[in-house]
Structure 1
């Protein structure tokens, strides 16, 4: 899996080098935690095609990144794991509007070997199990609760984590029996956790918007980065991590 991703990145860099206009300087990108691994490869390919640009990634929950932007943090590009946080940044006048660049689905994540024998969402009502969620204000927490509501399950939650990466870390360590993350998180764990499917009738499609900020410190590089993410090359990298095109 890792080798195939590197091939995708290398091909993208070679292709873009011939067609991307020259940009330079530092580029500040605030992106949802669930994009951490995929955007690391996006950064590599973009910098290879634009060697005078230094991309600085800031990963966190979409809600915390939203607040940072509204409070005046210098940011060139915002990539959110849901539309509501982007909408609030639009309402604050920080961006003109976001464009959906990928979608994602939820999946139950369990420790290797699934020691608690988790089979589905119904297990989240079992008070004898250690169940983790993302905080309700975080997209993965909001979507996870929607999925349980769709299934008619009232969860017995033991912990609410600040973002999906923090939740995944506890599941990997065996501190939790299960949690609801994204399909892409289970895939990018490279076997550190296992996934249990959530039926389509209960699952929730997460739409990820991206936008350059109105007052981006480096508007040219910001526009080029957004264009790259939306391009066939950028979409190929994201698809290799399990994201779907909108």
Structure 2
């Protein structure tokens, strides 16, 4: 059977149109595939750029040493490429160092009063937030050989008692508790931070010291702890803040977020701190 030239030409035109349509659909499909892959690439790039790095320098009250050291290990595990370094000590000394220009990213104090030394100058720090609280306890020699059972017992003649200096939060709290009891106590020494006071008992250079519950717990069997009701009238709030001009601001914000997170609060409460 012989086809006419006109019919053959028409069939070629139809076939050409169909091929063109297929090419167009193929191009659209390829374009859609490319478009869908681009956001994933952009997301990956964004995630990569958000990766934290650098060293976070934290000035923290001595009583935070054990719990913050644990938090630092967790932070470095969660954010490879970061490192957390500490300067632990009396909150008043740390505040003085910060206002004098010591480079730091984060300040965690053992009282709102010492935090105010830094935050009163708004150029020094952002608004602080209370993240835990702490209560006093009496630390005695193991076995409590002097039978200390109250704050009043610390006034016994011949008993060597150590207190934190009044300028330090634990010392100020101790004076507040003594005043609430109407007691006067002359210690054998005033220490510049709570760890210094506790060490005197651990080394048996003192019979007792007024420290924090967290420090008694951290000392384990090196000391015995004696609670006293007046401590409820001298509970310290612990505020934390991001310092202005922090060298590692983004990583510092993430560290503060960990401290305030459920995970961070669990570590802190296990150490004996009270929730804010």
Partner of 1:178: 208
1:113-192 pair list within 5 angstroms: 113-192=143-222
Alignment match, 1:205: 235
Partner residue in 2 for 1:85: 114
Say if 1:30 and 1:59, in contact at 8 Å, map to a contact too: yes
Distance 2:157 2:92 in 1: 29
- Distance in 2 of aligned mates of 1:168 and 1:203: 21
| Structure 2 stretches lacking a partner, 5+ long | 1-49
Distance between the aligned counterparts of 2:186 and 2:131, measured in 1? Answer: 34
Which structure features the higher share of helix residues?
2
Query: What is the RMSD of the two structures over their aligned residues, measured on CA atoms?
Result: 1.4
Query: How far has the Cα of 1:179 moved from its partner?
Result: 1.0
Q: Give me the whole-angstrom Cα distance separating, in 2, the residues matched to 1:42 and 1:201.
A: 27
1:220 Cα deviation (Å)?
Answer: 0.4
- Give how far 1:85 is off: 1.0
Deviation of residue 200 (structure 1)?
Answer: 5.1
**Could you give the per-residue CA deviations for residues 105-139 of structure 1, whole angstroms, max 9, x where no partner exists?**
10011010112221111122223110100011000
Aligned residue among 1, 14, 23 for 2:52: 23
SS of the residue corresponding to residue 225 of structure 2 reads strand
Using the alignment, how far apart are the partners of 2:186 and 2:100 within structure 1? 35
In structure 2, what is the equivalent of residue 236 of structure 1? 266
Secondary structure of the 2:56 match is strand
Alpha-carbon shift at residue 158 of structure 1 (Å): 1.1
What TM-score comes out, normalization by structure 1 length?
Answer: 0.89
| Structure 1 spans left out of the alignment, 5+ residues | 1-20
Which residue, out of 110, 123, 133, partners 1:103? 133
Q: Distance in 2 between matches of 1:146 and 1:194?
A: 23
Q: 2:103 — aligned with what?
A: 74
Per the alignment, in what secondary structure is the counterpart of residue 67 of structure 2? helix
SS in 1 for 2:186: coil
Residue number in structure 2 paired with 1:56: 85
Which secondary structure does the structure 1 equivalent of 2:246 belong to? coil
Name segments (4+ residues, structure 1) moved above 6 Å.
none
Counterpart of 1:117 in 2: which secondary structure? coil
Aligned position for 2:69 = 40
2:92, 2:255 → 1: CA distance?
A: 22
RCO higher in structure (CA 8 A, sep ≥6): 1
Query: Deviations 1:25-82 (Å, cap 9, x if unpaired)?
Result: 0110000000001111011111100111111111000000000000000000000000
Query: How far apart, CA to CA, are the structure 2 residues paired with 1:202 and 1:156?
Result: 22
Cα deviation for residue 203 of structure 1 reads 4.0
